[in-house]
């Protein structure tokens, strides 16, 4: 079997973690959910979940990953003392969940490549029909399939190179660039005349919009955006050296991810309102509304290129983290070579991705409970599979990993000083608060609408 790779530096760990967290979740999913779920009220609930549940869960995955030094399946196998217990097999759910997310993620990644191409070839003009353009990019039979495969190919290229030479090196270049670009775009958007209404939409809550579904969508988005609940953080943390400060790294990642989501909101909503378009457009928001807006503002063509460039590269740093979960599993559990593991996993995701993509057009009629395959995978994975995965992780860590071991990992065997009250609070949230909150929200969210 290949020797285990690891991250080379602290900065490398941070950018790789932030790279995984910041992605289409922030730039595509967050704005459209904010639009669909009433604006500020959604953001407030999301903020509470990110820090109350998301941060402790990220720390928890860090503990499981670094302590076991193994892929997500191996992690449970290693840490579970009782070899006959089902807990030792729980990791397989995470591998399947990552594969599921990757298969619709690569479709949206494909749309992004298509739109980058369209922006470079100056197709965003004042009289283009953007609904039709989005339909061509997403519901057409072949066009989206080609772009989906190109996206998967780029993802595979980075993962084949491994952790230090691929993932870490690539994230170090992309992440700082991304931050600069999104700040530039949000400033431009906030300077539009009529932007104020969009800013109000983001920051002035309307409590009448609050429903069980809003709460569930906010929890699901917290999981999705932070990359928690399906072993991505466990896998990355297994490449992290023992000296790394788990709590600090998790905190910075969460803050970076939340700030990025807010910046994405500030880039998109003021423009949506300034041009009188609807914020509740759904998954097409970024692809239908934005190009329309870019076509109408000075230097919009240039901004469009920058925006889709950001979207593509943010998506790639995330999709490589999803692919790495599956690849690490195949390498360590089945002793495959990295390249073969990548080819196999990409082939499976491409197969599922094709179905997903076709469900936007040709297979539109194939629905489960009224949802197309694409919607099912998107909503099912974020709102149900990820919270369920997170629930299993906290139950395992809280009730199966001894307290002393947990504290030992949090404090790097006592070599970094972590305040005792902080360790106790984290353990308390993991053991009692998070399981109850997640369960209650899952139950409330799944109740039929009143």
Q: Of 20 and 155, which has the nearer Cβ to ligand TRP?
A: 20
Nearest to 418 by CA among 115, 113, 80, 59: 59
Radius of gyration of the chain (CA): 21
DSSP 381: I
DSSP 87: G
With contact defined as beta carbons under 8 Å apart, do 166 and 160 qualify? yes
Smallest distance from the beta carbon of 318 to ligand TRP, in angstroms? 4
DSSP labels for 21-51? HSSHIIIIIHHHHHHHTTTHHHHHHHHHHII
Smallest distance from the beta carbon of 260 to ligand TRP, in angstroms? 9
Smallest distance from the beta carbon of 147 to ligand TRP, in angstroms? 17
Q: Of 195 and 266, which has the nearer Cβ to ligand TRP?
A: 266
With contact defined as beta carbons under 8 Å apart, do 349 and 152 qualify? yes
Smallest distance from the beta carbon of 101 to ligand TRP, in angstroms? 5
Smallest distance from the beta carbon of 367 to ligand TRP, in angstroms? 24
Q: Of 101 and 373, which has the nearer Cβ to ligand TRP?
A: 101
With contact defined as beta carbons under 8 Å apart, do 368 and 355 qualify? no
Q: Per this entry, what is the length of the chain?
A: 450
Rounded to the nearest angstrom, the gap between the alpha carbon of residue 11 and the centroid of all alpha carbons in its chain is: 20
Smallest distance from the beta carbon of 20 to ligand TRP, in angstroms? 5
**CA 246, CA 236: separation in Å to the nearest integer?**
12
Smallest distance from the beta carbon of 73 to ligand TRP, in angstroms? 15
Q: Of 137 and 253, which has the nearer Cβ to ligand TRP?
A: 253
Q: Of 108 and 336, which has the nearer Cβ to ligand TRP?
A: 108
With contact defined as beta carbons under 8 Å apart, do 290 and 63 qualify? no
DSSP labels for 249-317? HHHHHHHHHHHHHHHHHHHHHHHHHHTT--TT-GGGHHHHHHHHHHTTSTTHHHHHHHHHHHHHHHHHH
Q: Of 72 and 295, which has the nearer Cβ to ligand TRP?
A: 72
Q: Is 161 helix (H, G, I), strand (E, B) or coil?
A: coil
Closest-CB residue for ligand TRP? 25
DSSP labels for 387-418? HHHHHHHHHHHHHTS-HHHHHHHHTTTTTS--
Q: Of 26 and 359, which has the nearer Cβ to ligand TRP?
A: 26
With contact defined as beta carbons under 8 Å apart, do 265 and 39 qualify? no
Paired tokens of 179: 């931050």
Smallest distance from the beta carbon of 348 to ligand TRP, in angstroms? 17
Q: Of 94 and 147, which has the nearer Cβ to ligand TRP?
A: 94
Q: Of 105 and 273, which has the nearer Cβ to ligand TRP?
A: 105
Q: Of 92 and 120, which has the nearer Cβ to ligand TRP?
A: 92
- The strand pair at 371-372 and 367-368 is best described as antiparallel
Smallest distance from the beta carbon of 105 to ligand TRP, in angstroms? 7
Crossing angle of the two packed helices 246-274 and 55-68, in degrees rounded to 10: 140
Where do contacts with ligand TRP occur on this chain (CB under 6 A)? 20-21, 23-26, 101, 224-225, 227, 229-230, 232, 318, 321-322, 386
Smallest distance from the beta carbon of 333 to ligand TRP, in angstroms? 19
């Amino acid at each position: 079997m290949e020797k285990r790779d690891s991250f080379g530096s602290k900065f490398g760990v941070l950018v790789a973690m932030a790279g995984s967290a910041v992605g289409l979740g922030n730039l595509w999913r967050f704005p459209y959910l904010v639009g669909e779920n009433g604006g500020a009220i959604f953001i407030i609930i999301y903020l509470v979940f990110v820090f109350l549940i998301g941060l402790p869960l990220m720390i928890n995955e860090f503990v499981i990953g670094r302590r076991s030094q193994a892929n997500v399946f191996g992690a449970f196998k290693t840490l579970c003392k009782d070899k006959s217990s089902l807990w030792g097999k729980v990791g397989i759910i995470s591998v399947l969940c990552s594969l599921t997310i990757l298969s619709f993620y690569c479709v949206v990644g494909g749309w992004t490549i298509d739109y980058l191409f369209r922006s470079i070839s100056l197709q965003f003009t004042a009289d283009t029909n953007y609904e039709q353009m989005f339909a061509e990019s997403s519901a057409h039979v072949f066009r989206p399939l080609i772009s989906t495969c190109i996206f998967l190919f780029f993802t595979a290229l980075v993962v084949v190179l491994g952790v230090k030479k691929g993932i870490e090196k690539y994230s170090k270049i992309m992440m700082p660039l991304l931050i600069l670009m999104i700040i530039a775009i949000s400033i431009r958007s906030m300077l539009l005349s009529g932007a104020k209404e969009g800013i109000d939409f983001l920051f002035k809550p309307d409590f009448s919009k609050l429903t069980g579904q809003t709460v569930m969508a906010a929890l699901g988005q917290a999981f999705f955006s932070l990359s928690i609940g399906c072993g991505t953080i466990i896998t990355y943390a297994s490449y992290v050296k023992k000296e790394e400060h788990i709590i600090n790294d998790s905190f910075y990642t969460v803050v970076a991810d939340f700030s990025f989501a807010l910046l994405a909101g500030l880039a998109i909503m003021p423009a949506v309102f300034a041009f009188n378009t609807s914020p509740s457009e759904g998954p097409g928001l970024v692809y239908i509304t934005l190009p329309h807006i870019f076509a109408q503002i000075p230097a919009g063509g240039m901004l469009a290129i920058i925006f889709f460039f950001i979207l593509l590269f943010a998506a790639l740093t995330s999709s490589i983290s999803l692919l790495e979960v599956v690849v690490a599993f195949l390498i360590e559990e089945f002793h495959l070579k990295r390249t073969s593991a990548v080819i196999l996993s990409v082939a499976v995701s491409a197969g599922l991705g094709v179905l997903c993509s076709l469900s936007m057009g040709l297979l539109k009629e194939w629905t489960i409970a009224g949802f197309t395959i694409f919607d099912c995978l998107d909503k099912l994975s974020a709102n149900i599979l990820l919270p369920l995965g997170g629930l299993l992780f906290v139950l395992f860590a809280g009730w199966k990993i001894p307290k002393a071991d947990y504290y030992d990992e949090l404090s790097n065997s006592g070599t970094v000083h972590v305040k005792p009250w902080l360790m106790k609070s984290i353990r308390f949230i993991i053991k009692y608060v998070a399981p109850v909150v997640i369960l209650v929200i899952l139950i409330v969210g799944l109740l039929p609408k009143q």
